[in-house]
Structure 1
Amino acid sequence: MHSIELLLDDASDAAVRDDWRLLAEAGLPSLAGHTGATNAPHLTLSAAARFDDRADPRLLDVFSRLPVSVEWGGFVVFGRGPRGLVLARGVVATSALLDLHRTVHESVGGAGPVEHSAPGRWTPHVTLASRLSPEQLGRALEVLSESEVDGATARLTSARRWDGDARVVVPLGGPTPPG
């Protein structure tokens, strides 16, 4: 899988990592357990089996408009069945964010696009945990009920392309992202 991602400002990154930590300390699935150097709280703009590498110069231009300010929304839940549920923080879909999302999709091309990341089908979010059972989801919401993130403003400060085949990130704008 390949993806185009936006990374958060330092304070928002720390707040999401704190949510990851709270979940892990409660014995719940959390992205805190993913210790790879490239693991960072992010908002995925596009995902596909493969992107056209020639899109990178176009994306550098698109991401020259960073940072973009957004507001955190409530929790969102995705999934069902044996793979479990995904818990995420919603991000309010402002016109600026939706415009950036559409422009990225027009710029990347690629093979095997992931339908739920397409314009008109995309739900902006930052993932907190995956593979949750319904019981764990209830507990996770309880654990995060006191989180300071709700309604706060975040800034999307840099962009990267994740190349899942080579397992590397390619910086696409803003300060150099992790990985």
Structure 2
Amino acid sequence: MYGLIAIFDETTEQIIKDIWKELKERSISFYAYEVEDRIPHITLAGYNDLNPSYFTKQMDAFYEGKQAIDITFNTIGSFLNSGALFLSPTVTTELIEFHSNHHKIFEQFNDDPNSLYLPNRWIPHCTIANRLSPEKLSKAFDYCSKRNATIAGQIKEVALIDVSNKNKAPIIYSKKFGK
């Protein structure tokens, strides 16, 4: 199983890592530390099976010359009955086009017609905590809603990750964007 993720600029990434660390220090969530290679991201697509070598060649060609995408997080949310807490970016035309253009070009790789990452089903988000009890979710929400100011940054890179191992999510290949 594989995921295609959008990776942020260093400052935005560090802000989110700091939130993860603070939630851990308060014994609210250990989400960031459950997977060895976890980095802050927005998942763009998920694939059950693909040829990574072929996919990354297509990825390299498609994302060549791509410019960084401005992103602003000013909302905290949760999926129903999930125990998840996430930062939700402002949904801009640029963000939606970035996502939908990927799915148009890489449609041949879509092997899950029910994927929540497909256009018209996708809810862009960066997970802060997951699988929390209602009490911990409430604490995490309270903490993050008071701690966070608007986070403005950029998507600077896309990466293909291998999520077949429960405790690891190594990057197989990534492509950095221009300024």
Give me the TM-score of the superposition, normalised by structure 2: 0.84
Amino acid aligned to 2:74: G
For residue 116 of structure 2, give the secondary structure of its aligned residue in structure 1. Answer: helix
Q: CA deviation at 1:100?
A: 1.1
Query: Which residue of 2 is the match for residue 172 of structure 1?
Result: 174
CA-to-aligned-CA distance 1:69-125 (integer Å, 9 cap, x gap): 111131111142xxx411110011211111111111123323225521110111111
Bigger share in strand: 1
Matches within 5 A, 1:1-179: 1-34=1-34, 36=36, 38-53=37-52, 54-64=54-64, 65-80=66-81, 84-108=82-106, 109-112=109-112, 115-148=115-148, 150-165=149-164, 168-174=170-176
Distance in 2, Cα, partners of 1:96 & 1:27 = 37
Q: What residue ranges of structure 2 are gaps of 5+ in the alignment?
A: none
Amino acid aligned to 2:75: G
CA-to-aligned-CA distance 1:28-54 (integer Å, 9 cap, x gap): 123232351x21001100112123542
Cα RMSD, aligned residues only: 2.1
How many residue pairs match? The answer is 170
Which segments of structure 1 move beyond 6 Å, counting only runs of 4 or more? none
Q: 1:71 to 1:118 in 2, by over 3 A?
A: same
Distance in 1, Cα, partners of 2:164 & 2:76 = 31
Q: What residue ranges of structure 1 are gaps of 5+ in the alignment?
A: none
Q: Are the aligned partners of 1:7 and 1:158 in contact in 2 as well (CA < 8 Å)?
A: yes
Amino acid aligned to 2:159: R
For residue 120 of structure 1, give the secondary structure of its aligned residue in structure 2. Answer: coil
For residue 153 of structure 2, give the secondary structure of its aligned residue in structure 1. Answer: strand
Q: 1:98 to 1:158 in 2, by over 3 A?
A: same
Aligned-residue identity in percent: 20
Q: Are the aligned partners of 2:56 and 2:173 in contact in 1 as well (CA < 8 Å)?
A: no
Q: Are the aligned partners of 1:76 and 1:89 in contact in 2 as well (CA < 8 Å)?
A: yes
Q: 1:113 to 1:14 in 2, by over 3 A?
A: farther
